[in-house]
Amino acid sequence: MTTAFISHADCCLHNMGPEHPESPLRLLAIRKVLERTGLMQELAEYSAIPASTLQIEQAHSRQHRTGLERQQPEAGIFHADDDTALCPYTLNAATLAAGASIQATDLVLSGARTNAFCSIRPPGHHAEQNLAMGFCFYNNVAIGALHALQQPSVQRVAIVDFDVHYGNGTVDIFKDRPEVLVCSTFQHPYYPERYQDIQRDNILNCPLPAYSKPALFRHALEDRWLPALQAHKPDIIFISAGFDAHQEDPMADLELTEDDYRWATQLLTDLARQCCNGRIVSVLEGGYNPVALGFSVQAHLEVLAGY
């Protein structure tokens, strides 16, 4: 069954300034590669539907949401912190990004699509219940996972995160929800230095030192993620798909290539086939070299789509 590809042109209107690495060019680079290689026409494309206030407030406090609405400027840019800023179009894009994750969940749980990829921005995994940070405003993957847990067919969810940065927001939201297993690989020590030392049975952290070889990443997934995921028996798997651990990425110091992302996606699709009828919702997080990002997403989608 065809893989869903969910995006929205308005996700490119969110703009934190010409020098900012989390730029609209990222989504354009992904689309360019998928169109040039012909992969796009093999995917079922959907335009994202915005998340509702109620859906966003499953993961975030009302104060968080209304605080962002107050911060959003009518013109220019407002800096929520040193690297996270709102322009007049930010919350529209963030609401579409969160909505894409929900739409992907519905498509996969209904059986209309086996799996789905959300090509969206702003990213989400640093957004905590009450805090926007690290280019993130609403936690897209968490909002999708909480939507999944409201469906009668879903008892347990897994979220796996291979972004080079630790997904502190996702851990903040699910740290006391044992039905949600959160598995992460991330460069350590490194940004964001929040929650990475937490001890919980449902939080599996695999820190990787700077400049470590891809073999260490692969061992973490095979030896640590895989048994934990098999024991958890999720009804659906969410991927916080950040591609900034790529060797060409300017943001960090891990050395993965497209082949590692292809391998990791294969491991996860094989597992999903065993435990949950292949149900995967993958949501874009980081990836700041647009060329490397495009090729990495291509590799990821070729496996999801069964090429």
Catalogue the active-site residues: 126
Residue carrying structure tokens 């490397």: 292
Query: Smaller CB distance to Zn ion: residue 163 or 235?
Result: 163
Among 106, 163, 235, 249, binds Zn ion (CB under 5 A): 163
- Residue number, 128 or 244, with CB nearest to Zn ion: 244
Which listed range, 21-29, 57-65, 179-187, 237-245, lies at the site for Zn ion (CB under 5 A)? 237-245
Could you say which of 21, 242, 278, 294 contacts Zn ion (CB under 5 A)? 242
Using rule CB under 5 A, residue 244 touches Zn ion: yes
For the CB of residue 274, give the shortest distance to Zn ion in the complex, in Å.
29
Question: How buried is 49 (Cβ within 10 angstroms: 0-12 exposed, 13-18 middle, 19+ buried)?
Answer: middle
User: Is residue 21 near Zn ion by the rule CB under 5 A?
Assistant: no
Residues touching Zn ion: how many (CB under 5 A)? 5
Stretch of 28-36, 79-87, 159-167, 191-199 contacting Zn ion, by CB under 5 A: 159-167
Out of 124, 286, 290, 294, name the contact with Zn ion by CB under 5 A.
286
Nearest residue (CB) to Zn ion, 26 versus 165: 165
The contact mask relative to Zn ion for 96-115 (x = CB under 5 A, - = no) is: --------------------
Pick 3 or 184: Cβ nearer Zn ion = 184
Would you say 214 or 286 has its CB closer to Zn ion?
286
Q: Which of 64, 165, 232, 279 binds Zn ion (CB under 5 A)?
A: 165
Q: How far apart are CA 22 and CA 206, in angstroms?
A: 25
Q: Pick the piece of the chain touching Zn ion (CB under 5 A) from 39-47, 76-84, 140-148, 155-163.
A: 155-163
Q: Which residues bind Zn ion (CB under 5 A)?
A: 163, 165, 242, 244, 286
